[in-house]
Amino acid sequence: MLTSNMVLGGIVIPWELMQQSFWPILIEGIKVTIPLTLISFFIGIIIALITALVRISNIKPLRWIFNIYVSAIRGTPLLVQLFIIFYLLPELNVTLDPYPTAIIAFSLNVGAYASEIIRASILSVPKGQWEAGYTIGMSYRKTLFRVILPQALRVSVPPLSNSFIGLVKETSLASQILVTELFRKSQQIGATNLDQIVYIYILAAFIYWIICFILSLAQHQLERRLNRYTVR
């Protein structure tokens, strides 16, 4: 095991510092980044499902509101959304820690993007499937839930898991509203080792990479299982 600095083509790599920092950073990743991602994604998917269903329905005023929501979220930077929610809540006399504030912002963001994915996958189910549901006597709702959504959600799994992996990385923005997650932890460590700060960031990048790599393996497994019944 390497315990001291290593010289490589004139560059001095601070192995010891990187080894010491690895666990503290990884632990914030496991304790904060991953739960933040999971919770935000879960809530986001629920919002997305509701949004998609409203947007394919013919409930006019509600459709309008959800259209504006999706358009606004997609048309503004996530960092700006985070800041707005962070500073807006106190204005509304709501006191909330940075962590739940970040969850709200990320959930709303996921909700908008994922609703587009879900809506597109609902629309990709052939019209004949709706009609087949109707002809065996089903209502719109029943057809939607028994016939269309099971097929649509299967189609949306690959793009949704891409969004999930994307979210893992985007949660680093929560550092900007003082959530001590993986990236902010590295910033803190870096601040006390300014000369070697780039290596701390490289370490952080490496940890993100490992997490995303593991998730992408899980994604492939999931997709393979889902494809079992739909080989054409």
How far lies 62's CA from each of 52, 121, 128, 148, in Å?
A: 12, 21, 27, 22
Rounded CA-CA distance 72/76 in Å is: 6
Contact indicator for 180, 28 with CB cutoff of 8 Å: yes
The residue (of 139 and 162) whose beta carbon lies closer to other proteins is 139
In Å, how far are 25, 66, 169, 191 from 188, measured between CA atoms? 10, 39, 18, 5
Nearer to other proteins, 79 or 132 (CB): 132
Phi, psi of 139 (to 5 degrees): -85, 175
Which of these, 125, 99, 101, lies nearest to 31 by C-alpha position? 99
Quick check: 94 and 31 in contact, CB under 8 A?
no
197 burial class (0-12, 13-18, 19+ CB within 10 angstroms)?
middle
Quick one: which of 78, 74, 87, 81 has its CA closest to 117? Answer: 74
Smallest distance, other proteins to C-beta of residue 151, A = 6
Nearer to other proteins, 155 or 168 (CB): 155
Q: Taking the complex as a whole, how short is the minimal distance between the CB of residue 116 and other proteins, in angstroms?
A: 23
Q: Which is nearer to other proteins, 100 or 126 (CB)?
A: 126
- By CB under 8 A, name the binding residues for other proteins: 126, 128-129, 131-132, 134-140, 142, 146-147, 150-151, 154, 229-232
Nearer to other proteins, 47 or 148 (CB): 148
Smallest distance from the beta carbon of 51 to other proteins, in angstroms? Answer: 23
User: Minimum Å distance from CB 226 to other proteins?
Assistant: 10
Least distance (Å) between residue 229 CB and other proteins: 5
Return the number of the residue (3 or 230) whose C-beta is nearest other proteins. Answer: 230
Q: How far is the CB of 112 from other proteins (least distance, A)?
A: 27
